Amino acid sequence: SDRRNVARGIPYQRWHISKDGNYYKIKLDSLNEELYESTKTSNGNYLFTWIPKTDKGNAAQWNIYKAGGSTFFIKNVKYGHCLMAKGGSWISAYGGCDGEKYEWKLEGC
């Protein structure tokens, strides 16, 4: 398959965030695959990584802004949804972008 589901709780994964014009790209280091938000939905839009054959455009671009303290919101440019880890291991994208469930801690490597 050309795409993979994104989940948390998997053994340590390193993600690389890089500037892309006014936005950011997020790639899974081990596979060099971009994170993007899809139109596939089931209680939030699915997130996948993509084997870079074609450009996913602004579905693979993200705004990253301070939430408070040392946490950040990560918001998709195309859909305006934020990354959210909603119980279990599944990571999806939802509107709202409010509260701790949308906050992420970013660490340098």
pTM tops 0.85, yes or no: no
Angle subtended at Cα 81 by Cα 107 and Cα 21, rounded to the nearest 5 degrees? 65
Tell me: the pLDDT tens digits for 25-82?
A: 998 877 788 888 888 777 677 777 777 666 667 889 999 999 988 999 999 999 999 9
Q: Report whether 37 contacts 62 (CB < 8 A).
A: no
pLDDT at residue 16 greater than cutoff 70: yes
Phi, psi of 101 (to 5 degrees): -65, -15
Q: Please, what are the domains in the chain? A: 3-105 (2.80.10.50)
